[in-house]
Amino acid sequence: MTSDKKPVLALFYCQNTHASGEDERQALEQKYGDSLKLFPIPCSGRLEPLHLLKALEDFADAGYVITCPEGACRYFEGNLRAKKRVERTREMIKSIGLEEERIGFLINSKEGPKPLTDLADEIMDRLANLPPSPVLGPSVQGRATGSRQRSKGDKV
């Protein structure tokens, strides 16, 4: 299955992870446009499976989370909780026949922490060949607008 449309990624990331400030965010938005929706969160532990599911249901082909390195969470175990929640969400989408690769997470490195821009690039590269989500269907694909997603992100 091929498509001209680039996959849309909903990317949740911990604001405490290395180089993840406003500059990085703007740079990413310019680079990827509507293909990337960014959701900064105060700690990846605040992420709920529902956030990922809603993103997949409404506009995204994939939903990812970037967490701090293990042992480096400002709230001790937020990143560990995020990991488990991502696993649970994967189980749920798998149970309805959706590819589990559509949900994932990336742990920033402890030894050589990378900026958000690099991590986002890595995930976008990984998703380059991901077929469009069967949940969104051809007519729905790509309809998401920046403004709509921004308001969603604020709720997180």
Partner 1 sequence: MITAEQKPIEEIREMIAPYKRILVAGCGSCVAECAAGGEKETGMLASTLRMAAKMDGKDVVIQEKTLDRQCVNEFVIQLDESIDQYDAVLSLGCGAGVQAVAEMYPEIPIIPALDTEFLGETMSQGLWIENCLGCGDCMLHYFGGVCPLARCSKQLLNGPCGGSMDGICEVNPEVPCAWQTIIERLENFKALERLEEVYPPKDWSKKQGRGPRKIIREDQQR
- Give the Cα separation of 25 and 77 in Å (integer): 25
Binding residues for partner 1 restricted to 35-94, rule: CB under 8 A = 48-50, 53-54, 56-57, 92-93
Identify the burial level of 46 via C-beta atoms within 10 angstroms of its C-beta, where 0-12 means exposed, 13-18 middle and 19 or more buried.
middle
Residues 110, 115, 118: CA angle, nearest 5 degrees: 110
- Smallest distance, Å, CB 61 to partner 1? 12
Q: How far is the CB of 37 from partner 1 (least distance, A)?
A: 17
Report the distance separating Cα 117 and Cα 17, nearest Å. Answer: 12
Cβ-based neighbour number of residue 14 at 10 Å: 28
Q: In whole angstroms, how close is the CB of 15 to partner 1 at the nearest point? A: 23
Stretch 107-146 residues interacting with partner 1 (CB under 8 A):
134-137
- Give how many residues touch partner 1 by CB under 8 A: 17
Taking the least distance from each CB to partner 1, the nearer of 65 and 119 is 65
Q: Can you tell me the distance from the alpha carbon of 144 to that of 3, in angstroms, rounded to the nearest whole number? A: 17
Of 45 and 116, nearer to partner 1 (C-beta) is 45
Query: Does residue 27 interact with partner 1 by CB under 8 A?
Result: no
- Residues in contact with partner 1 by the rule CB under 8 A: 48-50, 53-54, 56-57, 92-93, 95-98, 134-137
